[in-house]
């Protein structure tokens, strides 16, 4: 049920005065004018799985934390194809998300680029249709659910159907890390089975003088518990998945989102979050958590390799608990998407690299070891090794649990090109600071979504 009308939304947007002008300018630059006709896919006239013998350079642009992985993958690819050099460049995630349209529409365009969302990239003819490569390399014989989030319909907006525009080495998923030593101090001997159990643990941690939750509010970490709360209160994932995939008429301004925002705001008011939550980024949060600040840390499996080393074996991981015991588990999951820009000068070599990182055994092992991501690829490809009982192993087991419960849901942050930086970050910051109400928060998300998708 809607909580407000469009006029109320426009008035309520005045409570968010600090959306950065630079981000707004980038958004305006990346959006097609209203009425722009739908674009046909940019499909290569011919594709080849042969790289040849001539020297080739494949330029890869990814977010900064991913650089070590792609450098290792690039070196492994070069060892197999000595004529191909893979050059990796890193960019701050928020900057990359905002500036991708400009970066791939100019004259010096990378051959592969990390995407968080598609926005107008398909509609504006900026990406290569990968269907011919999928046919050539046999990706069509793999489990197709791994490609659902990277298919875009001919309208250039709705995902989950249409042409393939991205693939990647593995899947990120979110859950909750916990400090075993601090958990023992509040009598928690096993992960909470329900949301009620989790909230009781938060209250017990606060009563014991411990910080209940460490989280990075500066760059979007608050969206992780928010989305899981929304899915719990909605009793399913369909509403948010339709919204994430830009299904026509999708609406997130619901009683479930208002209730989720109410809970998150209450956690802030009760002191369950750090006093400086809105100043903590995704580098500081895991470091402070590993040093013993916070009983719980909601984040993703990409943190597992580092926390496994810095946490001295005192850190565990569990999926965000459902509202009722026995209900299916759900979590935000997404492929680490790489796309080939339409202006790439080496699309065949880029596609060969994409195929390599999903199928080569050592590349799949690197994906797990360096980023903690369960690898993509064929159904019969063996899962890479992880140390039994390790934190990385726990995240891999959680991924299998999600597969069994059909609980893989895309990130709210990926719903539009600007949702992460321009809406979720500032709005969650306002929410936990008590400067917007849950109903205003919910309405603002839907209003910005409709503006971004031109509904």
**Of residues 312 and 444, which shows the higher confidence score?**
444
| pLDDT, position 249 | 94
| pLDDT, position 311 | 83
> Is pLDDT at 1 greater than 80 in this prediction?
no
Give the residues across from 176 on adjacent strands: 298, 318
Contact in structure between 13 and 444 (CB atoms under 8 Å): yes
> Is pLDDT at 77 greater than 50 in this prediction?
yes
> Is pLDDT at 441 greater than 60 in this prediction?
yes
Structural tokens at position 33: 């004018």
Residues in CB range of 34: below 8 A, 6 or more apart: 454
| pLDDT, position 95 | 86
**Of residues 78 and 145, which shows the higher confidence score?**
78
> Is pLDDT at 38 greater than 70 in this prediction?
no
| pLDDT, position 35 | 36
Residue 409's pLDDT band, with cuts at 50, 70 and 90, is very high
pTM of structure: 0.79
- Element holding 179 (H helix, E strand): strand 171-179
Residue 154's pLDDT band, with cuts at 50, 70 and 90, is confident
| pLDDT, position 429 | 98
| pLDDT, position 16 | 33
Contact in structure between 165 and 130 (CB atoms under 8 Å): yes
| pLDDT, position 244 | 94
> Is pLDDT at 23 greater than 80 in this prediction?
no
| pLDDT, position 97 | 83
Contact in structure between 320 and 310 (CB atoms under 8 Å): no
Q: What is the mean pLDDT of the chain?
A: 89
DSSP notation for 325-339: TTSPP-EEEEE--EE
Alpha helices (runs of H) in 298-389, residue ranges in sequence order:
304-310, 347-359, 361-371
What's the rounded mean pLDDT across residues 53-62?
97
**Token pair 């916070």: residue:** 294
Distance CA(424)–CA(417), nearest Å, equals 12
> Is pLDDT at 246 greater than 70 in this prediction?
yes
Percent share of the chain, pLDDT over 90 = 73
- Express each pLDDT in 329-357 by its tens digit: 999 998 889 999 999 999 999 999 999 99
What's the rounded mean pLDDT across residues 254-280?
98
> Is pLDDT at 130 greater than 60 in this prediction?
yes
| pLDDT, position 403 | 81
- Express each pLDDT in 352-398 by its tens digit: 999 999 999 999 999 999 888 899 999 888 889 988 889 999 999 99
Over 193-254, what HEC string results?
CCHHHHHHHHHHHHHCCCCCECCCCCCCCCHHHHHHHHHHHHCCCHHHHHHHCCCCCCCCCC
What's the rounded mean pLDDT across residues 391-416?
90
All domains in the chain, ordered by first residue: 56-170+336-385 (3.40.190.10), 172-333+410-453 (3.40.190.10)
| pLDDT, position 455 | 63
Residue 40's pLDDT band, with cuts at 50, 70 and 90, is low
> Is pLDDT at 32 greater than 60 in this prediction?
no
Short-list 22, 20, 25, 52, CA closest to 348:
52
- CA distances 185 to 176, 189, 323, 407, Å, are 18, 9, 24, 32
> Is pLDDT at 27 greater than 70 in this prediction?
no
- Express each pLDDT in 194-213 by its tens digit: 999 999 999 999 999 999 99
């Amino acid at each position: 049920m809607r909580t407000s009308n469009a006029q109320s939304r426009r008035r309520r947007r005045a409570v968010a005065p600090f959306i950065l002008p630079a981000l707004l300018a980038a958004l305006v630059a990346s959006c097609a004018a209203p009425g722009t006709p739908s674009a046909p896919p940019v499909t290569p006239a011919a594709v080849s799985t042969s790289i040849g013998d001539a020297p080739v350079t494949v330029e890869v642009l990814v977010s900064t934390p991913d650089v070590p992985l792609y450098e290792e993958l690039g070196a492994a690819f070069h060892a197999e194809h000595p004529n191909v050099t893979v050059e990796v460049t890193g960019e701050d995630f928020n900057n990359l998300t905002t500036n991708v349209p400009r970066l791939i529409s100019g004259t010096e365009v990378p051959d592969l680029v990390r995407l968080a969302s598609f926005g107008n990239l398909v509609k504006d003819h900026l990406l290569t249709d990968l269907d011919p490569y999928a046919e050539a390399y046999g990706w069509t014989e793999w489990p197709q659910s791994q490609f659902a989030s990277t298919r875009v319909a001919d309208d250039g907006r709705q995902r989950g159907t249409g042409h393939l525009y991205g693939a990647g080495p593995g899947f990120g998923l979110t859950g909750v890390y916990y400090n075993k030593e601090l958990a023992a101090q509040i009598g928690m001997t096993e992960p909470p089975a329900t949301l009620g159990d989790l909230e009781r643990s938060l209250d017990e941690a606060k009563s014991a003088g411990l910080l209940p939750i460490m989280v990075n509010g500066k760059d979007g970490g608050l969206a992780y518990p928010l989305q899981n709360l929304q899915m719990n209160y909605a009793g399913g994932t369909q509403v948010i998945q339709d919204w994430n995939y830009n299904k026509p008429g999708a609406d997130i301004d619901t009683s479930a989102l208002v209730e989720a925002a109410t809970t998150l705001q209450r956690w802030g008011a009760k002191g369950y979050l750090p006093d400086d939550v809105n100043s903590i980024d995704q580098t500081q949060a895991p470091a402070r958590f590993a040093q013993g600040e916070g009983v719980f840390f909601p984040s993703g499996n990409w943190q597992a390799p580092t926390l496994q080393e810095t946490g001295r074996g005192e850190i565990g991981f569990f999926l965000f608990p459902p509202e009722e015991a026995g209900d299916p588990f759900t979590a935000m999951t997404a492929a680490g998407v790489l796309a080939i820009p339409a202006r790439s000068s080496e699309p065949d070599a880029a596609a060969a690299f994409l195929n390599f990182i999903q199928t080569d055994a050592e590349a799949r092992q690197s994906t797990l070891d360096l980023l903690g991501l369960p690898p993509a690829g064929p159904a019969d490809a063996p899962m890479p090794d992880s140390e039994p009982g390790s934190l990385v192993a726990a995240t891999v087991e959680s991924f299998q649990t999600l597969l069994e419960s059909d609980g893989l849901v895309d990130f709210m942050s990926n719903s539009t090109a600007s949702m992460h930086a321009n809406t979720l970050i500032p709005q969650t910051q306002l929410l936990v600071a008590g400067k917007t109400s849950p109903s205003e928060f919910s309405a603002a998300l839907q209003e910005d979504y409709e503006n971004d998708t031109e509904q």
